[in-house]
Amino acid sequence: MQDLGISILFKGINFQRLLGGLWVTLRLALITIGLSCLFGLLFASLLLSRRKLPRIFCRIWLEIVRFMPQLVLLYIVYFGFARVFGLDLDGETSAVIVFTFWGTAEMGDLIRGALTSIPRHQTESAAALGLKKSQIFLHVLIPQTLRRLLPQAINLSTRIIKTTALVKMINVTEVLKVGQQIIGQFYRQPDAAFWVYFVIFLLYFIICWPFSLLARQLEKRWA
């Protein structure tokens, strides 16, 4: 009797292999999210700078990121940099560079938005109460900024997790590629592909959904 295709996922270490493939993209996403938060702070301070040049520089950066599909940026770094600068980057390094380039701009813009959304009178009232500049920042501005920023930053993080799936296109062995390998091994099982891709779909959902729920919950509570 022929068993259901899903059983191949529990043969040997197939399921662990899939999870291992998923971890490849997740790790890239985590590195990207960390770097994007860090550089995003710098980006936001440049966007809010009094001088014109850094502001224009960041605006252009932001527009590039908004207009170019991430896949095009990946191609530029992965294939183009090797050609122009002789930099032979592997897929994962290119991915971190590209997604951080994108994440920094998006995160920076979110931080800028959160900072500027706080009414001026908050700073002024705090100053009138006699708070020092550092106290104003620590006790008045940062808590309010975080409340606005956190839900949006979490949403951006799930977008980054979903977008890292694109590394499949620059030959990184990630979960879809591992899935193809498993399907290739079990070519006798006609519905193997259905179950493998279905499980990958569910795995992504299981990872991203809790973050979406958390972001919505925080948004509701802090609105």
Partner 1 sequence: MDGSFILSHVPDYLSGAWVTLRFGLYGVLCSLALGLVCCLLCYFRVPIFHWIAKGYIELARNTPLLVQLFFLYAGLPRVGIRFSAEACAVIGLTFLGGAYMSEAFRSGLESVDRAQVEAGACIGLTAGQNMRYVIFPQALATAIPALFANVIFLIKETSVFSVLAMMDLMNVADTLRTSGGRTVEVLFMLIVAYLLILLPVSLLATLVERRLRYAGFGDQHSV
Contact footprint for partner 1 (CB under 8 A): 5, 66-72, 75-76, 79-80, 82-84, 158, 162-163, 165-166, 168-169, 176, 179, 190-198, 200-201, 204-205, 208-209, 212
Q: Which is nearer to partner 1, 13 or 82 (CB)?
A: 82
Q: Which is nearer to partner 1, 39 or 194 (CB)?
A: 194
Q: Which is nearer to partner 1, 120 or 220 (CB)?
A: 220
Q: Could you tell me the smallest distance in angstroms from the CB atom of residue 163 to partner 1?
A: 7
Q: Could you tell me the smallest distance in angstroms from the CB atom of residue 34 to partner 1?
A: 20
Q: Which is nearer to partner 1, 137 or 197 (CB)?
A: 197
Q: Which is nearer to partner 1, 47 or 74 (CB)?
A: 74
Place of tokens 């879809």: 176
Residue 112: phi and psi, rounded to 5, are -60, -45
Handedness of CA 156, 159, 161, 167 (dihedral sign): negative
Q: Which residues, 6 or more positions from 189, have their beta carbon under 8 angstroms from its beta carbon? A: 2, 5, 8
Residue 220: phi and psi, rounded to 5, are -65, -45
Q: Could you tell me the smallest distance in angstroms from the CB atom of residue 123 to partner 1?
A: 26
Q: Could you tell me the smallest distance in angstroms from the CB atom of residue 152 to partner 1?
A: 14
Q: Could you tell me the smallest distance in angstroms from the CB atom of residue 94 to partner 1?
A: 13
Q: Which is nearer to partner 1, 36 or 163 (CB)?
A: 163
Half-sphere exposure of 35 (CA within 13 A, CB side): 16
Q: Could you tell me the smallest distance in angstroms from the CB atom of residue 205 to partner 1?
A: 5
Q: How many CB atoms lie within 10 A of CB 19?
A: 14
The first and second tokens of residue 20, run together, are 């291992």
Q: How many CB atoms lie within 10 A of CB 3?
A: 9
